[in-house]
């Protein structure tokens, strides 16, 4: 809604998992939440109109990282393949 209300060009960047990542699509919302909780996908907004009132136009909406990034990455085929091929490298 905020991007739509802005009187100029707006850009929305979203994390959207796909079936080739290797988990059931019925778990997409939970996977997206884990991406945010683990710090993999930060939630933020940038609204240039806030500068007129002296406020910072950048707003970080993500809370403190509380999820497990390794758990998120190991659920996705693209990262799980690296973990199988070279576990020591993947752990780093």
Q: What tokens were used for 34? A: 């884990």
Would the pLDDT of 90 be above 80? no
Residue in the structure block whose two tokens are 């929305």: 12
CA atoms within 13 A on the CB side of 85: 6
pLDDT at 41 (0 to 100): 94
pTM exceeds 0.85 for this model: no
pLDDT, one tens digit per residue, over 39-73 is 999 999 999 999 999 999 999 999 899 988 888 88
Under 8 Å CB-to-CB from 15, ≥6 apart: which residues? 32, 35, 36, 41
Alpha carbons 74 and 57: distance in angstroms, whole number:
35
CA atoms within 13 A on the CB side of 50: 9
pLDDT, one tens digit per residue, over 31-41 is 999 999 999 99
CB 39 within 8 A of CB 62: yes
CB 79 within 8 A of CB 90: yes
């Amino acid at each position: 809604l905020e991007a739509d209300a802005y009187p100029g060009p707006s850009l929305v960047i979203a994390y959207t998992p796909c079936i080739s990542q290797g988990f059931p699509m019925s778990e997409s919302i939970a996977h997206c939440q884990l991406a945010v909780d683990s710090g993999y996908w930060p939630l933020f907004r940038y609204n240039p109109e806030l500068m007129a009132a002296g406020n910072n136009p950048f707003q970080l909406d993500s809370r403190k990282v509380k999820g497990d990034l390794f758990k998120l990455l190991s659920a996705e085929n693209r990262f799980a393949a690296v973990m199988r091929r070279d576990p020591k490298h993947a752990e780093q």
